[in-house]
Structure 1
Amino acid sequence: MADATAVAQALRLHHYLYLAPLTFLYWDHLLTFGDEVRYIWSKPKTASAYCFFLNRYLAAFGDLAVTVFYYHEVPQSWSAPFPDILNTRLIHRERCPDLNLARQILLIVNQITVCLLLTVRIYALYGRDKRIISCMLGVGAVLIAVSIWAASRAGGVPQRGEPGCNIADPRNVAIMIAIPWEAVFVYDVMIFCLLFYKSLQTRRDSGLRWSQIPLLSLLIRDGSIYFVLMATVNLANILTSYIAEPLLVSCLSTFASNMSVTMMSRLMLNLHSVDSRAGIFSTSTPCATSITELDTLRTHDLERSAHIAPPRPKSVQLVAQAPMVVDPEPWGNQIQDPEIGEFTHHLADT
């Protein structure tokens, strides 16, 4: 009885942790759908627009399909049609492990999509430097290969007697499940390091403080926010593979995936609000447009920043506020010391 109660509580917690990020994904989709119509659907379709559709709607429809199988009573096994023709091992298979594998593949594809789009963004920030893209794609290829290898070895045990498709992952399987998320964490660290280095390089070349460069301030702010959020969620999800019970292994994977997809969608909407044709491939960084180019949180920053005029030089403001009228006659009468007279005469000339 105690074991049945513990299993039921673990499954309930797992389902809550699955439904919360799912609700977050669709709710944010509704919040930003107006901007999507304005900046994506109503504009000519470009490569950046199709990248946006891939990132947003693959996760939306994929999660919907996974949800149906999660909360629907599925057969324990399935058989392929035409057994005389398809004489393979696919004739009779366990249904639940196959569905779980499909879910893991969907999560991996979502993360690969987000990482590729972030790679394009960093590539554009570095002025389309071939060395940067070669390095990032090389590291990404290695991490993808390791992730696919680990996912192919991750096969849990279906939980019998409970509705839906529920998998209990023993510790050796849980470690394999953690490897793809560790790869995502490594790639996020690399992206943040490249972003921070670009910020330092921009500051050094301009000779100004961070607060005096709007683009640099947003680079640090948005890059830090994205990295802190994703690093925290990924690390928490990774820890579940090492310390959580079998039914709660990788229970935060949907939250991590949906968070990254949502932030990437908002980033692309902001880029399209600045340049609807280039979008994520934009390499322009003028001060007038860079204010919202990297803003991953608020799409309407562009409309607010358009009304902010640059400050006037301090010297001009002083002259405009307090014009000085100098009468040279009293100065000449008051000066007795020749050295002081030369000094005040110099001030009068200036």
Structure 2
Amino acid sequence: MHAARDFRIRTYMLLGVSSAPVLLAFSIYDVIRGQYLFGGIIAAFALAIAANTAYIHRTGRVKIPFAVMNVVGLLTLAWGIQFVGHAAALWAYPLAIVNCFVSERRRARIMMAAGMLLLIPLVLLEAPMDHGVRFALTYPLTCWFSDLAVSILEKLQHQLNEFAIRDPLTGAYNRRCFDFRLDEAIEQSRRDLGAVSLISFDIDHFKAINDQFGHDAGDDVLVHLVRTVRARLRKVDALFRMGGEEFMVLCRGTTPQQAQHLAEALRREVMECRPRPDLPVTISLGVVQYDDRLGRAEGLRRVDQNLYAAKQTGRNTVWPPAESAESELPAA
């Protein structure tokens, strides 16, 4: 969602910078030809695009929704076709293309349908037959190809974004994504939207699994582990592969006790759901609740300490144990 929105905003800025001068030039040309009202409307449209582009550049937000500008543009074209001439319909092509690149997909399709229902009958009535038929055929094709092109671009951008934030082997989020999501969760916790807990875990004796069964088996274990853990997490939780066989679960709105119970459930689930009968897998887990008084770095250091403590106590365990969770959490 965010990637598609950023794509549309960047496209809006690029189109604004490139189209505003062109529209102003055409408005001057229309005024010189004596079409003062139509030229004035085009000039106002160009200035609105320029102002919106400048506002986006300063704030990153859209001041005038493009849907509003699109409606105004379609109505202006309808008026121009009737009172200036059918040549005004040529503006429908760039408007349709811009609409596809800037608007959200559903809204863009609604506006394209509205444009076809409004403009095609007018052009067929006002223009010579051959011009009207050409417009009735080429305008829908322009809309369709523009929509198809943008849909493909957004899909490719989404895939690139996924490649950037996910581990290619397991599909878990990567360390880069963890840094962003943790900062986001911390900001939400500061607005009293729920505590943040971290569960760090890794696979016990993973090197021995690779040595005994081979690296392909090790990869299978990692993939199976991620699938097993994901099935147990809530939608608001997120799983990250921090490197090698080490993982982190970010839990939002979770008390220390809830995080402890979740960690214990994950431990049992992984132990019971083997990737294959001859390959037992266990994990050790460290749990901590983020404390803003200590800071981000200290919270990460303590969850690593708790994971190390779980390994020191014999592995296949959670540290701190559930009954001592509160005493082991970061203190002021």
- The answer to whether the superposition gives a TM-score over 0.5 is no
The TM tier, using the shorter chain, reads: under 0.3
Q: Work out which structure has the larger RCO, using CA pairs closer than 8 Å and 6 or more positions apart in sequence.
A: 1
Q: TM-score if structure 2 supplies the norm length?
A: 0.23
Q: Which has the higher strand share?
A: 2
Q: TM-score if structure 1 supplies the norm length?
A: 0.22
